[in-house]
A and B are shown apart, each in its own frame.
Chain A
Amino acid sequence: AQKITQTQPGMFVQEKEAVTLDCTYDTSDPSYGLFWYKQPSSGEMIFLIYQGSYDQQNATEGRYSLNFQKARKSANLVISASQLGDSAMYFCAMREGVGETSGSRLTFGEGTQLTVNP
């Protein structure tokens, strides 16, 4: 079964508008972490934001925020005030377990291609 599901292969947004990229996950482990990465056309993976399963508040990093709904097992990424440079592939990922060496594996979704139009 898919552990990370991103149902939007492609999304379009107008510059300066907000956009939400969907991510649902599946785990029976009570301890886990959720990540979002950005991959521009150059190929490198850029870490954007992290949410721990026990975090009480939604994570925010500048224009990025994570809408974490634990009961629904969703971790949607919200990008506010979109910029042309935000056009890229976006991946949601999960790490199960806690501790220094446990939970080393990150499982990725298939990604959402975001295009920001001027």
Chain B
Amino acid sequence: DGGITQSPKYLFRKEGQNVTLSCEQNLNHDAMYWYRQDPGQGLRLIYYSQIVNDFQKGDIAEGYSVSREKKESFPLTVTSAQKNPTAFYLCASRIFGGPAGELFFGEGSRLTVL
């Protein structure tokens, strides 16, 4: 079935460690996104990519890095520079040209820093 797969679903990290969250989509979507959600709050945009080998910073990019080497993959690295990384991370994708252009989301990855 087509969709967006995020892994791992749960991740624990020690302070000072980098961690990479995986996001893969087989929907042939053009654009991919990473959002962060803190408890009881809305989603904030970290990074997004509209084409392969290109990406743009969102509203809270500091302490994060991404790559887009393949159309179907958009991994997010949470670096040790991110001061408060404990959060729920959601990956999304979108196809261009649709009437609404809504985002399709993965099931999320919950990162906890110990």
Interface residues, chain A, with chain B CB atoms under 8 Å away: 4, 9, 33, 35, 42-47, 50, 52, 91, 95, 100-101, 103-111
Contacts and interface: CB of A to CB of B under 8 A. Distances in A.
Determine the interface band of chain B, counting residues with CB < 8 A from chain A: 20 to 34
A45 B45 contact: no
Contacts of A111: 40-42
A101 B96 contact: yes
B68 to A, nearest CB: 13
A33 B96 CA distance: 14
Contact of A101 (B35, B45, B50, B88): B50
B97 A100 contact: yes
A79 to B, nearest CB: 18
A91 B101 contact: no
A10 to B, nearest CB: 10
Which of B100, B105, B107 counts the most A-chain CB atoms under 10 A from its CB? Answer: B100
A82 B76 CA distance: 38
A70 B53 CA distance: 38
Interface string B73-109: 0000000000000001010101011011111111110
Contact of B92 (A45, A50, A101): A45
Interface string B37-70: 0001111110010100000001000000000000
A45 B90 contact: yes
B42 A91 contact: yes
5 contacts: A50-B99, A52-B100, A101-B96, A106-B45, A106-B103
